[in-house]
Amino acid sequence: MPIYPKCAPVSDRAHTSELDVAGELLALLGEVTTEPRPDTQLEALTLAVAADLPVLLWGEPGIGKTAALTQLAESLDLPLTTVIASVHEPSDFSGLPIIGDDPAEHGVPMAPPDWAVRLVRAGRGLLFLDELSTAPPAVQAALLRLVLERRIGALRLPPGVRIVAAANPRSSAADGWELSPPLANRFVHLHWTHDHDVVVRGLGGTWPRATLPRLEPEKFAAAVAFARSAVCGLLAARPNLVHQLPSGETRRGGAWPSPRSWDMTLRLIAFATAAGSAKDVLSLLVRGSVGDGPGFELLTSIDRMDLPDPEVLLADPAAADLPERGDLRRAVLDGVVAAVRRHPAKSRWDAAWAVLVKAVESGAPDLVVVPATTLATLRQDNWDVPASIEELAGMVSVAQGADRAAARVAAKAGR
């Protein structure tokens, strides 16, 4: 059997030296900078954090959820406390029972975990609940009080602590669970995706910077009034949207409308308005609170809140300033016709035709066809057809349609 010479052992110093060299390279790779860069996702996240609402980031593994939270904590100068929800027991969130000197007299207090004590001592921080979708139902139930009331055992987290969670879709989560409806309804759900340009520039050493929105105090009163008007206006017209628990298990684990989530939506609208945020940011926040369907209805309602009053247009058609966007222009024209239907009068009918003529002259004549046809049916027998209708000839035979509509109405009345 061959005898191999023994190799001289490498000294501990040599090992340390090589690791020190590797550490220098790692440190160099870790040197990155940040820059102000418009990022809809990041702005929505920071707005929700500023509004003191729990946020849940949904995204595939490796998409950058944890990195975004780490960078957010650094930018806001908040100590980051990460808790992997799936590796904890329910008692870690509800508190551990500690028997004192006389349980019969003092009871059994629920002691909080060490990370909660550290947050209270700091008075501020960012609590990151990671891997939420891999937490079993018992742990999710224990998280309810933490997320909503900020309580862990007998301890209450201070107002300076914000809560953000992250989860992978069940299809890509290790032993994943759907979120329970009570827990899901306590979060603002943001779907985290990657931006190719941001990733490439970030790997090059420059990532976007997360900053809290600049709120303008002089806008606060108007922002609150606007938010209340938007939410209450929609729910007054659509009472069935106040509470809609989805039937499917997957949808129950996301955003859906309830009095709680509408309250969160109202707060987010007020913050977005006071910060002057773009509509794309507001869309992410609203849909992340009450779901896509109700969210889109609210966003459409908000768009229409900025539309001109139909009564103002009927009072002075020549000064009508119609929106350029097709859906909003159509909404304005429908509103004018509806106003005439509610309070019919010859002068108002004539004014409505003048508004339609102006809409044709300023573009998109196809949007006038349906409102014009509806307006024609509102004509009464003693109303002369205004000359302005002739300007619509060629696009829709409105004058003839008005006569035919009047004839049909008269025929029905004579039956």
Q: Residue 90: what pLDDT?
A: 86
- Output the pLDDT for position 153: 79
The tally of CA atoms less than 13 A away on the side-chain side of residue 270 is 20
Is the per-residue pLDDT at 389 higher than 60? yes
Could you read off the pLDDT of 160-206 as tens digits, one per residue? 999 999 998 866 655 668 889 999 999 999 999 888 888 898 889 88
Mean pLDDT of the chain: 84
> What is the model's pLDDT at position 400?
47
Instruction: Tell the burial category of 42 from Cβ atoms under 10 Å away from its Cβ (0-12, 13-18, 19+).
Output: buried
Of 156, 158, 157, 176, which Cα lies nearest the Cα of 166? 176
Task: Looking at mean pLDDT, say which of 43-57, 294-308, 366-380 comes out highest.
Answer: 43-57
Asked if 81 and 319 count as a contact pair (C-beta separation under 8 A), the reply is no
pLDDT tens by residue, 214-231: 898 888 998 999 999 899
pLDDT of 298-317, one tens digit each? Answer: 998 888 777 788 888 999 98
Q: What is the pLDDT of residue 410?
A: 56
pTM: 0.73
Q: What mean pLDDT do residues 28-56 have?
A: 90
Q: Are 290 and 262 in contact (CB under 8 A)?
A: yes
In angstroms, the CA 276 to CA 278 distance is 7
Of 187, 109, 114, the C-alpha closest to 148 is 187
Are 58 and 192 within 8 A, CB to CB? yes
Provide the 8-state DSSP code for 124.
E
Structure tokens at 389: 């209708």
**Position 174, amino acid:** A
